[in-house]
Amino acid sequence: MLIYESLYKNVASVVMESDRMRVTVLPESGGKIQSIFNKVENKELLVQSKNAEFRRSSYDTSFFDGDQSGFDEVFPSIEACRYPTAPWSGIEIPDHGEVWALPWTAQRYDDHLTLTVEGVRFPYQLKKTIEFQQDNCLKISYSVANRSDFPFAYIWAPHILFVREEDFEIRLPAAVKTVMSTCSVDNKLGKFGSMHTWPTTVVDGIDYPISTSTPMYPGKCEKYYAMETLDEGWCALFNPKTGSAIGLSYPVSAVPYLGVWDGLVGDQCATALEPCTGAFDDLGVANHWGRVQTVEGKSAKEWYLTLTIDNVRGVDGIDSAGNFKCRKIEEVLL
């Protein structure tokens, strides 16, 4: 593998390459993974802005005024809100959290890249180490250290804007039977709290396949969460016509919730698979519902995320090493 410094449009980058993937990281722009390029299929996996220059965001600005591309880290809330508990009660958390718009400190090694960032309004350090677990599998190991003496509740989510190919299907664990809409704009899944059966629901008396809903309708912006308690940590995009698959795996004990955003970024179709440590986007709401992770004072928590690309017969799961699980051909034919 290779790790080297480069330039993405007008900003400094670090590029990591295996035989099958090329990954571009922007340490000074939220530590974001800007690009994941599939070298085998010769295609970009993440939404890229059509602007000639990268639109770098400032702290405490709207996500929608930024570049709206790539893979951002969201922490400690997705939606802007006020911190719900003492000793930080009432302190405002910016849109999409703090860290996506902050510069991260990067350390480059022969086989991995480590990035760290310090909280601005809250006393934490978030750290991630990026490496190739296999030629077709990227592993990101995370830790959050609480510098204070008090418990710190947080939502972490990977905001990964995958390019949505026309025949892609969203694959979730078999336990997912019900999803709840949490989007605040008009969409076919309705307002916050609307419940739907997965993978197909009924909208205006007509079957609506949530998992395969392309082509996109104008202004599409759907966000929903799995309501079941999950015992598997994975999600994927799968093209049954070509076998092309992109999958995430993670430890469900540390990352117990699963959200999906599906819609349009400008004129580009995109899907964001978002395993997360707290549900329903707003840290206050997550805390009220008891669906949030907490790191105790003067301690740390760790978790990981794998991102795998492959060509497979089907997707029935993804293990911790990033390997797709699929039924045998004989089982598929039954």
Residue 131 lies in a domain: yes
Residue 200 lies in a domain: no
DSSP assignment, residue 175? T
Q: How confident is the model at residue 293 (pLDDT cuts 50, 70, 90)?
A: very high
Q: How confident is the model at residue 60 (pLDDT cuts 50, 70, 90)?
A: very high
Across the chain, mean pLDDT equals 95
Mean pLDDT of 75-103: 98
Per-residue pLDDT of 11-38, as tens digits, reads 999 999 999 999 999 999 999 999 999 9
In this prediction, what percent of the chain has a pLDDT beyond 70?
97
Q: How confident is the model at residue 214 (pLDDT cuts 50, 70, 90)?
A: low
What's the pLDDT at 185? 82
Q: What's the chain's Rg over C-alpha atoms?
A: 19
**By the 8 A CB rule, do 218 and 261 touch?**
no
Q: What is the CATH number of the domain that holds 11?
A: 2.70.98.10
Residue 152 lies in a domain: yes
Per-residue pLDDT of 34-53, as tens digits, reads 999 999 999 999 999 999 99
Identify the helix (H) or strand (E) that includes residue 289: helix 283-289
Residue 207 lies in a domain: no
What's the pLDDT at 183? 86
What's the pLDDT at 330? 37
Residue 199 lies in a domain: no
Residue 190 lies in a domain: no
**Count of the separate structural domains present in the chain:** 1
Residues in the chain: 334
What's the pLDDT at 215? 61
Question: Is the predicted pLDDT of residue 124 greater than 90, yes or no?
Answer: yes
259 alpha-carbon distance from chain centroid: 9
Is this model's pTM higher than 0.85 or not? Answer: yes
Q: How confident is the model at residue 248 (pLDDT cuts 50, 70, 90)?
A: very high
Residue 215 lies in a domain: no
Instruction: Report in angstroms the alpha-carbon separations of 73 from 100, 115, 159, 217.
Output: 5, 12, 6, 28
Residue 92 lies in a domain: yes
Domain that holds residue 39: 2-174+221-333
Q: How confident is the model at residue 331 (pLDDT cuts 50, 70, 90)?
A: very low
By the 10 Å C-beta count (0-12 exposed, 13-18 middle, 19+ buried), 213 is classed as buried
